[in-house]
Structure 1
Amino acid sequence: MVIAKETTLQELLEGSKQYRVPLYQRTYSWGEAQLKRLWDDVEKLADDRQHDQTATHFIGSVVLAPSPGLGPVGVQEYLVVDGQQRLTTLTLLLCAIRDHRQATEGGDHRQRLDELFLTNKYRPAAERPKVVPTQADRPAYEAVLDATPQAGGPDRVGAAYRYFRSQLVRVDDADDPLDVDRIEGAVIRGLSLVSVTAQPGDNAYRIFESLNNTGLALKQGDLLRNYLFMRLPTAGERVYNGVWLPLQQALSSDDLELLFWLDLVRKDSRIKQTEIYEQQQRRLERLTMETEIEAEVARFARLGRLLRSVLDPEQEHDPSVRRRLQRLKDWGTTTVYPLALHLLDLRERGQTDSAAVAQALLVVESFLVRRLLIGRATANINRVLLDVVPSLDENLPVDEAVHRYLSSGRKYFARDDDVRAALQTVPFYLNGRAPQRALLLRWVEETYHNREPVQGDRLTIEHVLPQTLTESWLEVLSEDAGENEEPEDLHRELLHTLGNLTLTGYNSPLGNKPFAVKRTTLQTSGVAMTRDIASQERWGRPEILARADRLADRICAYWPAPLAGVRSAGEPAWDVLEAAVAALPAGSWTSYLDLAALIGSHQVPVGQRVANHEMPNAHRVRKSSGAVPPGFRWNDPDRDDDPTEMLRQEGVPVDEQGRADQSRRMRVDELAVLVGLDPAELPDAVPDLGEEDEAASRFQEQLYSAHEPPVAKAVLSVLAAWQDMGGVLAYGSADETTAFLMVDERDIRHGGVWPAAIYPSGKFEVVFQWMQYRPPFDDVALREALRQRLNAVPGVNLPAVKLAMRPGFEVTLLAEGRSQERLLEALAWFRGTATAVRSAP
């Protein structure tokens, strides 16, 4: 049962009382926004009370419970179950009023306010403050209460006190001797609260839990901490100071919550982070003795020390384990944390050693690396990694148990022959996350044991065979193309494979220069894998495939393969292929070559798969030329639809030879978007921006190296016009320096909307893919309106089917005066639409 009544601060604080904030409460956290809101209310109330002394202002409730130490005589002690932020702030305001009046008016203001509202004057030191904050806030609060030189420090308690002191100085009018007195009266007698008091025998923590377990007021970790100390009525102070406080100082609030979750998923991988409090409480409720709860706090503290090594590998004492932990941290997959913590815990308890821990972590690293190489980086990865600890065979050494688990079942732990095959065909540059791709190349570079290691964080990925073909590169590919092969198709087949990629640290990217020119620069590289390329006389299909084989040898020698005798993970990703075909929107088509590149296979087995397995949209898969392949047949023998006529009815233009319009073709990178191969890379803001001046210079340099002066000048003219209409420019920091057309300064680094990116190699890219997540262009009607305006530009044809993609056109169009004029009209409409929404009330 609880008793609720309306009260004032005067009634709440007068008399011999003490309000203690229990250990399970969070620390003081009010910032300037909350302080300003309270002060504004006080100022207005003080003004209102000049005309009506009965005026009040309600500021919320305070929930109290009798302290277990409450006796028949002496100070009445209460636990502040809820409302400690409000109560602490009000007493800090009274301290500020006390000190201001003492400094400006003299007299007995300090003694008066202390004795009436802030202290129990004649009580022992522990009972003297009327309000006692939680442990971490007490030194700062006592400094303010006692007006010591340390009062008003940099912490939040000190900041609140300083804020009120400054506001009192601001409002104190020398010609009005009663203005601060009115402020004091408003605070003490005018602010209205509801005091809710539990009765002896009520469970104070249950009341607190019901008020705060909404997922809004407190985090899961906060609730669990509070529960633990509610279960420590006599040992709480000692355990808090000796065990909990060091843990809380070592780990952030988020990291503590992570610790509580990792502790659970080591036993049951299905537990979600939103269930931390519920599941931990259910486990702890089985413990009946205070000593058992104390042991749990000590266990959490021990695991917390180990977690610090997982989160910050520099804390790890063993060099081999430290290296493996750092690599997994760099990889960025947090679902390895349960295993990493478990391994360190086993070592701490003497059940394994550092060598076995390092080897187990190397196997996990190999598992991640090999999956990325075969194009299966994300397939069920979280579930596999979270299941490691609960699934380990406790009868085996831990490194062998981890190896056996990851090698069993269909987990896509690629064998050596799978890796070799994948490096020939899989578009590595389109798989996984961009940081992981660059990281893997840096790790491969480390296997060369270069005497002068290069700075890895300064290296970027370079396509040796460039992304934009020139006449010289077409000539090279034409020499390598076989019968019925086009050099453009060969380019798409080889471009993103690992054999064609390397690392460079040059300020200016090599772009699409001929290999003879690139080779001269590559020869001077400090990167061993890059110098290996420079040793070649030419760079075409044979050289790219041969380098892929050399890299495969190096990779297979360094990263352990799965244990022998397990099921092969090298089967083509037919599920990805079928998902891509099913996702093809009406009005589009794709080729067998694009699908083969998507899954790291070849056109022949892809064609056989499409022909022999029932799947929706099979008529949208064609030869690279856009024609129906000879001998096309439906999987259903009773079906005789004309696939070309079906495409026509869906809106795809088809020429007299039956070839589908290439602008409607979904290329391999667009297929990747359709099936969500890399959803984690969807940016919240413009990605990887460089320093503006330097990046702008790089952009112009690359632009002039790739195009004739009239085209380069036309591009710069468009950028200048965008700025003239109020837009701003941002530049990327990747190897090819992209120019982003941003609506205004707020968009840079803050996830705003932008219409396009211009690549100096030659593409004006319309970023419908990013727009669909950003207002107001998350409205498909607005994206369609933009598409139609852009299609009014002579030479531009953006299909409606690509409203969720990043279609584009060649920047050479901008050299035509009419095209540039119509483009700028479309861009001005885009910016006007975006800014109109922002300025709307």
Structure 2
Amino acid sequence: MIKSANQYPVHTLFSHEGNVMYRVPPYQREYSWMKPQWEDLFEDLIEADGQHFLGTIITLDQTTDTLQSNILEVIDGQQRLTTLTLLLAACYSVLKEHIDELDEDTRTDVTNLSRQLVRKSDKQPRVTPQKQGRNLADYRRVLEEAGLPIKGEWKAYFPSRRVAKCYRYFRSAIVRLAEQDGVTQPAAALRVLEAAKRAVLVKIEVASHADAFVLFESLNNRGMPLSPVDLIKNHLLAESEKKRIMHVDEAFQHWNAMLTNLGDNYATQERFLRHYYNAFKSELPDVPNATVATKSRLIRIYETLLGGDLRSVVDKLVDASEIYGRINCVVEVDQPTSLDRAFQRLMRAQGAPSYVLVMWLLSKRHELELTAGHIETAVDRLTSFFVRRNLTGYPPTYALAKLFMDTIDAVGGARGDDVVAVVSRRLSAASAGDGVFRDRLLGRIYEENTDVARFILATLAEDGMTKETSVDLWRQEKNHFVWTIEHILPQGENLPPAWQEMLGGSELAAQVQEEHKHRLGNLTITAYNSNLGNKSFIEKRDRQDSAGRYIGYRNGLTLNATLAQRESWTAADIEERTNALADKVLARFPL
């Protein structure tokens, strides 16, 4: 079944001297990675202590003429390979723009990087995506835009598709990294490039398509490996037994108490262990070369901490986990306080990276003379910060840990209102300004970040509710929200005749749809998305269920108040509502 399975660093897989090409077959789905995956890859690379493991790819040798090229068909791993080469192209672009500032050896590295991405012999890309969704055309265009020796082809709406957006995300991330580290852009690009070239992949080569798909199926149904949380637990139990500080059963009970407070989500457990170290670092034993807890350092950090006063460490972890569980809304409270509702908003705004700061504030609340009102204000500021951050991408993900740790240090001798003022100043200084935030609100927000779009829409709708009209917009059934985002002007292809007529004919309608469908003004919240679909605007506005209740835009949500009065829905209407909602969002999430 397997012809070979070997671990290779990226610079070997894409050797500038080699003749290998990686071709994605036509039956593969189109490129689908989005901003969360791009962020994770970038962050993992720059935080890696050594070689970052990128995972496994499965290939099939499709070479017909060994003198021409060695063609490997990518059965599994196309998303990873495509994204990785777009990252390398972004590095090349930055270095190429500053080529005169580089020394001779670095210029040689830049030339070699060019040949790693585009073969010197025939100017063909090392990775060839499939054509579906215009992936191949967009990919070639990106490489040309990066300054590589390849002929690209412009296709309509190129900037709004994922391949182009991925490349531009990495370009921006390199610039932000340079600003964050206080170095030049070429220095930041070289740091990212070296981390990417050191990263390793396991390349499995198979003999046939049948073997490839059997292997692919078995790899994707394998058992879960031990996680860092499991390994830290095992180390705790081993140390308890070796040092005879507490019985293994007692240590296990403490650990389970911590996990009970945190819930059964592994990501939450692992994040808590990182946040605990980052929050209380100044009070903990020194861990060499661990200024901040990252995933790759976590095991080493806790081996050091548990090697000291084990009982004290475990007791403090359990106490902190109880606070963390409340912040993370692990247990649903029967009668939530105003502060609990603030925690819920922060969680829904994807504000988990700030839990390190909130946990520290809650644990030190008496010492810092903080009331529940003080903490609620700080949490609301954090919610505003994350709505802005998750839409603008600034500050970058890898800078968040340092931001919140520095904020903890900056509190110093501040007490009460002054603590909240310190937090507010730090968040405001680190956040993108109102101008940048408004620009993103006026853009294709649904495509930029669907979760942020939904949070904004739901919040604006909730703000208009009374006790009598209150509706739970976050209710889920079968792990899916009942209330979902509805595109007023439908987003699907083949607009019905009624929409084409309203928008001035099929050609103009297609243009309006492409430019405006994902904008804030064209979005609302409904529990009956499937009942509205591609129906005309009037049908959507006046739609009722079998009991005669309005389920369209006359459903009583203040978010839909202007829609309920409209007789048509055009580009001008979307523009007007987008600007009006953007004003409300800026006022609702101030910094």
Length-normalised TM-score, structure 1: 0.36
Look at both structures and tell me which one has the larger radius of gyration over its CA atoms. Answer: 1
Length-normalised TM-score, structure 2: 0.49
Greater relative contact order (CA < 8 Å, ≥ 6 in sequence) = 2
